[in-house]
Amino acid sequence: MTIYVKNKDTLIYDDFIFKCCVGRNGFTYNKLEGDKKTPIGLFSLDRIYFREDRKKKPQTKLNLKSITKNMGWCNDVSSKTKYNKPISLNLKLKYEKLYRHDYKYDFVLPIKYNWNKRQLGKGSAIFIHLTKNFKPTAGCIGLLEKDFLILIKIIKKNTKIKIL
């Protein structure tokens, strides 16, 4: 089965329809780092990262990884080896911090966009993460926590996401 993001506020999986939010500047076939657009395409999903200090282990068939204080996601376009990968915080690289003070990354599901053959500057850190107010994201997809937990409970390791 495939998750579908049909438009800027609808995510569908099987018989479930969830309200969501996407990048502030809409969708694009030509994603660039920092453009605040959500990439269009068919992508696999990674493991679920979560704040074990705040949330209990969710029910899911996907692999889980606990977020620690020194975890980040590299968005440094000058790093060929680390770009668009999880990293330990490093003052020499630019990164998105995963251990945040707010709630948005209490649960995070990375979308495998620009993943296997990474291209510098083509976008990084594209996630399904939490939202409370459906304000536009920097390029990710936001879901309410209750909907995120339902989604990760019913999807499988081979589930893909199609962003239209």
Tell me the CATH number of domain 2-163, given options 2.40.50.140, 2.40.440.10, 3.20.20.70, 3.40.1080.10: 2.40.440.10
Q: Name which of 53-57, 86-90, 96-100, 149-153 the model is least confident about.
A: 86-90
| Average pLDDT estimate for 4-20 | 96
Say yes or no to pLDDT of 69 above 90: yes
Q: Could you tell me which residues are beta bridge partners of residue 12?
A: 4, 17
| Residue 127 identity | F
Residue 97: in which H helix or E strand, if any?
strand 95-97
Give the 3-state secondary structure of residue 150.
helix
For 137, the token pair is 């994201």
Answer whether 114's CB lies under 8 Å from 122's CB: yes
CA dist 68 to 52, 60, 72, 115, 132, Å? 9, 20, 9, 22, 23
Note if the pTM is more than 0.85.
Answer: yes
Order of strands across the sheet with 160-163? 16-19, 10-13, 2-7, 160-163, 41-44
- The sign one gets for the Cα dihedral 24, 28, 30, 31 is positive
Say yes or no to pLDDT of 140 above 90: yes
Answer whether 161's CB lies under 8 Å from 140's CB: no
pLDDT score recorded for residue 93? 93
Say yes or no to pLDDT of 90 above 90: no
**Residue 91: band (very low, low, confident or very high) from pLDDT cuts 50, 70, 90:** confident
Residues 6 or more apart whose Cβ sits within 8 Å of residue 80: 120
Going from N- to C-terminal start, the domains of the chain cover 2-163
Give the 3-state secondary structure of residue 149.
helix
